[in-house]
Structure 1
Amino acid sequence: MRPERPEQHHRNDQYDQHEDPFAERPRRSGRFRVAVAGGAALSLCLVGWLGWQALANSSSDRAGAAAPRSSAAFSEGDLLDPSPAAPGSVAPSGAGASAAAGSPSAAPSGSSSPGGRQLAGRTVLLDAGHNTGNGRHTSDIAKQVDIGNSRKECDTTGTSTDAGYSEADFTLDVVHRARQILRDRGATVVLTQDGDRAWGPCIDERARIGNEAKADAAVSVHGDGAPGSASGFHVIMPSRVVAGKADTSAIVDPSHRLGVLLRDGFKAATGEPYADYIGQQGLDTRGDLGGLNLSRVPKVFIECGNMRNSGDAKRMTDPQWRQQAAQGIADALTSYLTTS
């Protein structure tokens, strides 16, 4: 939003009306007429000086009121244009439309926060779920890895929309968008993969990357593959797991706080409803995900929508909506890191 122009105040200066010193008078002696003329001259000088002062003050007041605002009054977000919608894109609705229009929300809006680089010195891990190359490396991703309380596949191929838009493409695009917002706010952003690996990484390595980076917070981005009748998004938080390599005792509480902020921020930014098929009010807790079990830093997953549902799929394939999704994720992380 462009700042409003300052209101200009105009004054109507009122001048005192003085009696005319040269009006007709009874005749007086010469000495008296000289005295009167002298007094009249002094009066005229006084009136002229007062009028000049009033005009000067009036001009000063008007100039002060019309002075432009300093450039410091503009936030970074004022200078950014929203990304143009792709042909056939979905117009945001509900809470998402309000967020896009700059309406107040639970988290900062715009691709850069008004507070500037308030995340300087903080490290964030963004985990783009799956990999577009996983389908060509099925034997590699099928190997079992230890997640503490069980063993699971290294990774999976992920899901896709009915039209073939893959979860791996979706997650990497959203992560790239969120990374830019967070970098603009001063954060160091670490990715588990940047489309630069043939497959993977495995779920245990994804957790290890965040641990080794000593991330202050981590979010794993996904799209769900539930039955087509199901819709909505949900956030998955770690349950308390103490078994083998896993010990989530220290991260359960902060991860829960991050999860609630992410749920609220994502809904505010996108307008996406809570999942109607899993969890409660957009939140779920699990102890069977290696990326959470093995994490030593506060971490949550977000299933941004059900890619098998036609309505969710239409939104998730829209670049404008994906920008809103990234905004919700970045805003939630910003809220978490600036209040923890």
Structure 2
Amino acid sequence: MRELRRSVLSLICCAVLVGCADAGPNPTGSANRTPALTESPAAASPTGPISPTDATSPTDATSPTRAPATASARSGTPTHPSAAPTRSSAAPVIIIDPGHSGRSIRRTEPTTGLTDFDYPNAPEMHEVYEVSTCVADGLRDLGYRVIMTKKDADDTVGLAERARIANKAKADLAISVHNDHGQNPAFQAVYSQRGIRHGDRYRPMWRGSGSNRTVFDHPAVARASARYARVIARERGAVLAAEVDVAEENFSGRAGLEPGNLALVQLLAEVPWVYNEAGALTGGSTTRRMTRAAQTAYAEGLLQGVVSAVPGPDAGTEPASPRELRSCIDRQHKL
């Protein structure tokens, strides 16, 4: 009888253990994260709910009489799945793209037929590389994963390659960093992949002419880019105690560039991309370097903007202070 009782008890224990094992936690400790972006019409924006006015996609505007090609259609790959990758890492991936190239580039981008054109532009390319490096250091200190599109100010990297780097990394956000020595410091601008509202709608974002006219066709990415652009503009403005405009580009009539209203690197990207400009005319000279104070303010605004737009894993930690950023800029000058 005692042996029978032991056998029954053993069977009951085994059943309980099996049941507990089935109801236990995920062995990995966490569920897979849902995509930061989705092309579903009911999707929420990565930084909050989409307002009724935001629900209009960049291609909702009246189409030209001839249907334009899209960047994704030319490549023969689906637009939306690649624009909304599933992420598994908790640390956001940020691409920082310092402007211009060590040598002149002019080649045909094969998927669109557009001209991939860039050129050396000193002192801008050195100034913005220094700013970008300090922003990257500040983000890494906060736990972000950061990829620079160039490893040195004088590197030669085409615009299509910069976009490819961001797409391959499935970046949460990419920012281009430029300045303009033909503009005084009052000029400060931010450009998104959605452009700005014209009346009650947004215009298509495009580049090229004739058979090469290519329209940006990632609506969810465009909406995210627009929201991030507003956040970055706000933070840059707070540092400068001045307004920073969210604007729309116009490349028509610019030597060596194809017409349109979107930077090529943004057109080819499948991730949210915010393009930044800052006036750098110093002492009335177009060749004199931007002041270190202006570089520091630029770096601070960008750092605060990225952190506010895409919160990182150390959300409670303060970003690098202006003094720390100035020390970083000073170190870059000594290299």
Superposition TM-score tier, normalisation by shorter sequence = 0.5 to 0.7
Asked if the contact 1:124/1:218 (under 8 Å) is kept, the reply is yes
In structure 1, the residue corresponding to 2:187 is in which secondary structure? coil
Q: Which residue of 1 aligns with 2:309?
A: 336
Do structure 1's residue 297 and structure 2's residue 260 form an aligned pair?
Answer: no
User: Following the alignment from structure 1 to structure 2, what is the Cα–Cα distance between the partners of residues 221 and 312?
Assistant: 21
Deviations 1:218-238 (A, max 9, x none): 100001254x57841100111
> Distance in 2 between the 1:230 and 1:211 partners?
32
2:145 matched to which residue of 1?
Answer: 188
Matched, 1:221 2:177: yes
**Equivalent in the alignment of 1:157:** 120
Match among 297, 315, 319 for residue 324 of structure 1: 297
Displacement of 1:289 in angstroms is: 1.4
1:71 corresponds to: none
Tell me whether 1:203 sits opposite 2:159 in the alignment.
Answer: yes
Unaligned 5+ runs, structure 1? 1-118, 161-165, 275-280
Q: 1:126: which partner in 2? A: 96
Task: Look up the equivalent residue of 1:130 and give its one-letter code.
Answer: H
Q: Which runs of 5+ in 2 are unaligned?
A: 1-88, 195-203, 207-212, 251-260, 313-335
Letter paired with 2:223:
D
Do the aligned residues in 1 keep the contact of 2:99 with 2:178 (CA within 8 Å)?
yes
Instruction: For 1:169 and 1:130, locate their aligned partners in 2 and report how far apart those are by CA, in whole Å.
Output: 9
Q: Would you say the 8 A contact 1:147–1:289 is kept in 2?
A: no
TM value normalised by structure 2: 0.52
8 Å Cα contact 1:214-1:297 kept in structure 2: yes
- Superposed CA deviations along residues 51-94 of structure 1, whole A, max 9, x for unmatched, are xxxxxxxxxxxxxxxxxxxxxxxxxxxxxxxxxxxxxxxxxxxx
Note if contact 2:190-2:275 (Cα within 8 Å) is conserved in structure 1: yes
- Would you say the 8 A contact 2:282–2:289 is kept in 1? no
Residue matched to 1:56: none
Give aligned-pair identity as a percent: 24
1:144 matched to 2:108? yes
- Measured in 2, the distance between the counterparts of 1:232 and 1:146 equals 35
Structure 2 residue 222 is the aligned partner of structure 1 residue 249? no
Q: For the residues of structure 2 that align with 1:231 and 1:314, how far apart are their CA atoms?
A: 18
Tell me how far apart the structure 2 counterparts of residues 260 and 252 of structure 1 sit (CA, whole Å): 12
Are 2:98 and 2:132, in contact at CA under 8 Å, matched by a contact in 1?
yes
Contact 1:147 1:204 in 2 (8 A): no
Q: Compute the TM-score of the two structures, normalised by the length of structure 1.
A: 0.51
Between the aligned partners of 1:230 and 1:330, the Cα distance in structure 2 is 19
Give the Cα–Cα distance (whole angstroms) in 2 for the partners of residues 200 and 130 of structure 1.
Answer: 8
Other-structure match for 1:237:
192
**1:338–1:315 Cα change, 3 Å:** farther
Partner SS state of residue 109, structure 2: strand
What is the count of residue pairs matched by the alignment? 199
Amino acid at match of 2:114: R
